[in-house]
Structure 1
Amino acid sequence: MDFTMGDAAAGLRDELRALIAERMPPDFRGAFTDNPEDLEAAQEFCRFLADRGLLCLAWPVEFGGRGASVWEQTVVREEMWAHHEPRGAQYMGVNWVGPTIMRHGTREQQQQHLPPIARGEVIWCQGFSEPGSGSDLASLRTAARREGDGWSISGQKIWTSYATMAQWCFLLARTSTAERKQQGLTVFLVPMSDPAIEVRPISSMLGPHHLNEVFFNELKVSQDHVLGVVDEGWAVVQEVLSFERVGIARYARCEFLLQRAPSVLGDRWEELPVGLRERWARELVRCRRARLLAYRVVSTQAEGRVRPGDSALYRIAVTTLDQSSADVLAEIAAYLPADDEQASTYRDDVADHWRYSQAATVSSGSIEMQRILLARDLVAS
Structure 2
Amino acid sequence: MDFEMTAAATTLRGELRDLVREHVPDDFLGAFTSDPADLETAQAFCRLLAERELLCMSWPPEFGGRGSSAWEQTVVREEMWAHHEPRGAQYMGVNWVGPTLMRHGTAEQQRTHLPPIARGEVIWCQGFSEPEAGSDLASLRTTATRDGDGWRINGQKIWTSYATMAQWCFLLARTTRGEKKQQGLTIFLVPMSDPAITVRPIGCMMGPHHLNEVFFDDLRVTEADVLGTVDDGWSIVQNVLAFERVGIARYARCERLLHMAPGALGDRWDSLPAELRGRWARMLTHCRRARLLAYRVVSLQATGRVTPTDAAAYRIAVTKLDQDSAEVLTEIAADLPVTTAGVAEVFRREVEDHWKYSQASTVSSGSIEMQRILLSRNLLAAR
Q: TM-score range by the shorter chain?
A: over 0.9
Give the whole-Å Cα distance in 1 for the aligned partners of 2:381 and 2:142: 31
Q: Is the 8 A contact 1:239 1:306 kept in 2?
A: no
| 1:380 Cα offset (Å) | 3.1
Within the alignment, does 1:371 sit opposite 2:378 as a pair?
no
Residue 349 of structure 1 aligns with which residue?
350
Give the whole-Å Cα distance in 1 for the aligned partners of 2:336 and 2:325: 17
Residue 19 of structure 1 aligns with which residue?
19
Residue 362 of structure 1 aligns with which residue?
363
Give the whole-Å Cα distance in 2 for the aligned partners of 1:167 and 1:339: 42
Give the whole-Å Cα distance in 1 for the aligned partners of 2:99 and 2:209: 24
1:331-357 CA deviation, whole Å, 9 max, x = no partner? 000112333312111101000000001
Give the whole-Å Cα distance in 2 for the aligned partners of 1:304 and 1:264: 43
After TM superposition, where is structure 1 displaced by more than 6 Å over at least 4 residues in a row?
A: none
Alignment of 1:277-288 (within 5 A): 277-288=277-288
Residue 236 of structure 2 aligns with which residue?
236
Alignment of 1:65-76 (within 5 A): 65-76=65-76
| 1:26 Cα offset (Å) | 1.3
Residue 162 of structure 1 aligns with which residue?
162
Residue 187 of structure 2 aligns with which residue?
187
3-state SS, counterpart of residue 153 of structure 1: strand
Deviates more, 1:298-307 or 1:350-359: 298-307
Give the whole-Å Cα distance in 2 for the aligned partners of 1:337 and 1:264: 11
Residue 249 of structure 2 aligns with which residue?
249
Deviates more, 1:106-115 or 1:305-314: 305-314
Q: Is the 8 A contact 1:257 1:350 kept in 2?
A: yes
- The one-letter amino acid of 2:357's match is Y
Alignment of 1:1-381 (within 5 A): 5-341=5-341, 342-381=343-382
1:190-239 CA deviation, whole Å, 9 max, x = no partner? 00000000000000000000000000000000000000000000000001
Give the whole-Å Cα distance in 2 for the aligned partners of 1:340 and 1:109: 52
Give the whole-Å Cα distance in 1 for the aligned partners of 2:6 and 2:100: 29
| 1:376 Cα offset (Å) | 2.1
- The one-letter amino acid of 2:367's match is S
- The one-letter amino acid of 2:22's match is E
Structure 2 unaligned blocks of 5 or more: none
- The one-letter amino acid of 1:183's match is Q
1:352-375 CA deviation, whole Å, 9 max, x = no partner? 000001111111100011011111
1:292-314 CA deviation, whole Å, 9 max, x = no partner? 11111111110022300010011
RMSD: 0.9
- The one-letter amino acid of 1:155's match is G
Q: Is the 8 A contact 1:255 1:287 kept in 2?
A: yes
- The one-letter amino acid of 1:124's match is W
- The one-letter amino acid of 2:371's match is Q
Give the whole-Å Cα distance in 1 for the aligned partners of 2:110 and 2:380: 37
Give the whole-Å Cα distance in 2 for the aligned partners of 1:379 and 1:64: 42
3-state SS, counterpart of residue 122 of structure 1: coil
Q: Is the 8 A contact 2:3 2:295 kept in 1?
A: no
- The one-letter amino acid of 2:345's match is S
Change (3 A) 1:125 1:58: same
Structure 1 unaligned blocks of 5 or more: none
Q: Is the 8 A contact 2:141 2:173 kept in 1?
A: yes
Q: Is the 8 A contact 1:143 1:154 kept in 2?
A: yes
1:161-216 CA deviation, whole Å, 9 max, x = no partner? 00000000000000000110000000000000000000000000000000000000
3-state SS, counterpart of residue 264 of structure 2: helix
Give the whole-Å Cα distance in 1 for the aligned partners of 2:2 and 2:284: 16
Give the whole-Å Cα distance in 1 for the aligned partners of 2:131 and 2:339: 46
- The one-letter amino acid of 1:244's match is E
3-state SS, counterpart of residue 279 of structure 1: helix
Give the whole-Å Cα distance in 2 for the aligned partners of 1:230 and 1:213: 25
Q: Is the 8 A contact 1:9 1:72 kept in 2?
A: yes
Deviates more, 1:7-16 or 1:60-69: 7-16
Give the whole-Å Cα distance in 2 for the aligned partners of 1:187 and 1:152: 13
Give the whole-Å Cα distance in 1 for the aligned partners of 2:301 and 2:6: 21
Give the whole-Å Cα distance in 2 for the aligned partners of 1:50 and 1:332: 38
1:70-123 CA deviation, whole Å, 9 max, x = no partner? 000000000000000000000000000000000000000000000000000000
Give the whole-Å Cα distance in 2 for the aligned partners of 1:148 and 1:378: 46
- The one-letter amino acid of 1:299's match is S
3-state SS, counterpart of residue 154 of structure 1: strand
Q: Is the 8 A contact 1:337 1:343 kept in 2?
A: no
Give the whole-Å Cα distance in 1 for the aligned partners of 2:297 and 2:61: 23
- The one-letter amino acid of 1:286's match is H
3-state SS, counterpart of residue 129 of structure 2: coil
Give the whole-Å Cα distance in 2 for the aligned partners of 1:380 and 1:127: 31
Q: When the two structures are superposed, what TM-score results if normalisation uses the length of structure 1?
A: 0.99
- State how many pairs are aligned: 381
| 1:3 Cα offset (Å) | 5.8
Q: Is the 8 A contact 1:4 1:10 kept in 2?
A: no
Q: Is the 8 A contact 1:171 1:189 kept in 2?
A: yes
Q: Is the 8 A contact 2:46 2:87 kept in 1?
A: yes
Give the whole-Å Cα distance in 2 for the aligned partners of 1:297 and 1:185: 27
- The one-letter amino acid of 1:28's match is F
